[in-house]
Structure 1
C-alpha cells in the first residue's frame, strides 16, 4: 500500500469585502458570511439573529462574542442601540470597519469583563465554548437587571443531532460542553425565573435533503454518480434563512440548535 500524505487544510477567506475591510479566515471557531462553503452554517445562525431582531425593537442590546459582526448589524435594524463585544483582535477590527451603521458599535473586551448595562443580552452559539457558563449567565442577568424589560437570548447546538449517536460530544475542538435539551434548560433555569425554549429545524429544501440522506441513501447516490462536488457547489450557496424554522411546537430532542429566552 502507498503511504498516504496528509494535505494542508484549505484556507477559506471571505470574498468581496468592501474597500478597507480586511477579510477574515474561516477557522471553525466562528461562522462567517461571504464564504460560499460556509453558507449553511451562516444561514443557520443568521435566522436566529433575525428572529431576535423582531423581539428587541427600541431596546439597547449587547451582542456578546459577536465575532465577525453581522449579527450585531442585523439586530441594529430594530434595536435602539447595539454593542457588539468580542475579544478577538482580527474580528474586532473587521467588524468595526465593515458595520458602521448608526446605532451599532463594537468594543474589544471579554464576555466576563464587559460591564455596560442593557435591556437585552444576546449570546449565540458560544456557551458551549466556555468553562464557566453559570458565572456568565449570572453576569448577563446583572447587566440587564435595571431594565424594565430585561431579556437574555442564548443559543447552543443540540448534542443529540450534532454528535455521533451515543457520544457525549462532537469532534469540534472549540466546544467544551454540548448540551441535551434538558441540560440546557436546567442551566438557564438555575439563573432565571422564566425560560422559554425553542428549537431550530430544517425546512423546505433542507428538510427534503435531510429526508434523502436518512431514507434514500443520498450520500451513496451522489458519490456513485460522481456528482458530489457539483451538487454541493450549487446546493450549499443556495441555502437561505427560509430553509430553517424556529419553533416551540416540536420535540427539542430533534432540534439542530436550542434558543432560550431568559427573563428574571
Structure 2
C-alpha cells in the first residue's frame, strides 16, 4: 500500500480524534494515497450493510472503524472489535452512534450476541483459519450469516507466486482453495468476486492494451496524473458479481463469501 520509506498519516480528523498512520496492515480513510484500497474495501461494507438490516452485527478486526459505522447505518446494533490500541481509541472517538460500540480484544476471544459476523480482508492474516471459521459458526448460530472476504492470490501476487510481498499476510487463496476452506465449516457457501468498474476498468484496459504505464512514464506525467486519479476513485468504481451469474472468480480482485451454517 505504501512505498518503501514513505509515511502517510490521516488528514483532517475531527477535534480530539488522534489520526492513524498507514502501516500496510490495515487500510485507512482520509489518506489520499490510500484511497484506491479504502474504496475497494468500502464498497463491500456498503454491500453488506444493505443485507444486515435489523441484525446484531459484530465487525471483527474492524481496524479504523469506518466499516463498522457503515454497517450501523442499517443494522440493529454493531460491535467493532480490534486488538490494536491505537485503532480502538481512534474508532471509539470518531464513530459515535447509539447502536455502535467498540471493544478492544482479540478476534479469537470475543464473545457476545450477534447473528451476523463481518470479517473482511483479514483471514489471510490468520495462522489458524479453520479455528476462526468454527468460531464464526458458533457465534452466528443456525439462522445467522457470516461475511468473510480475502484478496485473490491470482490478481494480488506476481504470476506464479504463492504469495504477494505483503508481510502481514500468512496465506493468500485461489478461488478453489478458498471454497474448500469455507466448505469445511459452513453448509451454504456463496462466493462473489469484486472487480474494477467505470474509470478503473478503463484504466485497466489502458494498462493492458494501450501501454499506458509506458506512456505516462515517457511523458513524465506519472505523479501529476495519479495525484489526481487516485483520490478521485469512488466505491462505484468497483462492482461485485456472483459466480451464479457467470463471474470468473479467477479474475476477481477479492473474494466475498456469504456463509450460512
Secondary structure of the 1:122 match is strand
Alignment RMSD, CA only?
1.0
- Provide the rounded CA distance (Å) in 2 between the counterparts of 1:215 and 1:173: 31
Secondary structure of the 1:32 match is coil
Which runs of 5 or more residues in structure 2 are unaligned?
none
With the length of structure 2 as denominator, give the TM-score of the two structures. Answer: 0.97
Tell me the matched-pair count. Answer: 256
With the length of structure 1 as denominator, give the TM-score of the two structures. Answer: 0.96
The answer for the alignment partner of 1:161 in structure 2 is 155
How far has the Cα of 1:231 moved from its partner?
0.2
How far has the Cα of 1:10 moved from its partner?
1.6
- Provide the rounded CA distance (Å) in 1 between the counterparts of 2:7 and 2:98: 33
Question: Among residues 209, 212, 235, which one is paired with 1:215 in the alignment?
Answer: 209
Are the structure 2 counterparts of residues 208 and 106 from structure 1 closer, same or farther at C-alpha, using a change threshold of 3 Å?
same
Say yes or no: does 1:77 pair with 2:73. yes
Are the structure 2 counterparts of residues 8 and 30 from structure 1 closer, same or farther at C-alpha, using a change threshold of 3 Å?
closer
Say yes or no: does 1:260 pair with 2:261. no
Say yes or no: does 1:239 pair with 2:223. no
Q: What are the residue-to-residue correspondences of 1:81-230 with 2, within 5 Å?
A: 81-145=77-141, 149-230=143-224
The answer for the alignment partner of 1:3 in structure 2 is none
- Provide the rounded CA distance (Å) in 1 between the counterparts of 2:94 and 2:84: 15
How far has the Cα of 1:117 moved from its partner?
2.6
Are the structure 2 counterparts of residues 127 and 8 from structure 1 closer, same or farther at C-alpha, using a change threshold of 3 Å?
closer
Secondary structure of the 2:90 match is helix
- Provide the rounded CA distance (Å) in 2 between the counterparts of 1:51 and 1:206: 19
- Provide the rounded CA distance (Å) in 2 between the counterparts of 1:213 and 1:88: 37
Question: How big is each residue's C-alpha offset from its partner over 1:80-114, in whole Å with a ceiling of 9 and x where there is no partner?
Answer: 00000000000000000000112000000001100
- Provide the rounded CA distance (Å) in 1 between the counterparts of 2:89 and 2:7: 20
Secondary structure of the 2:101 match is strand
- Provide the rounded CA distance (Å) in 2 between the counterparts of 1:131 and 1:8: 26
Are the structure 2 counterparts of residues 49 and 227 from structure 1 closer, same or farther at C-alpha, using a change threshold of 3 Å?
same
Question: How big is each residue's C-alpha offset from its partner over 1:44-78, in whole Å with a ceiling of 9 and x where there is no partner?
Answer: 00000000001000000000000000000000000
Which runs of 5 or more residues in structure 1 are unaligned?
1-6
How far has the Cα of 1:11 moved from its partner?
1.1
Q: What are the residue-to-residue correspondences of 1:8-87 with 2, within 5 Å?
A: 9-87=5-83
Spell out structure 1 runs of 4+ moving beyond 3 A: none
Secondary structure of the 1:160 match is helix
Are the structure 2 counterparts of residues 8 and 188 from structure 1 closer, same or farther at C-alpha, using a change threshold of 3 Å?
closer
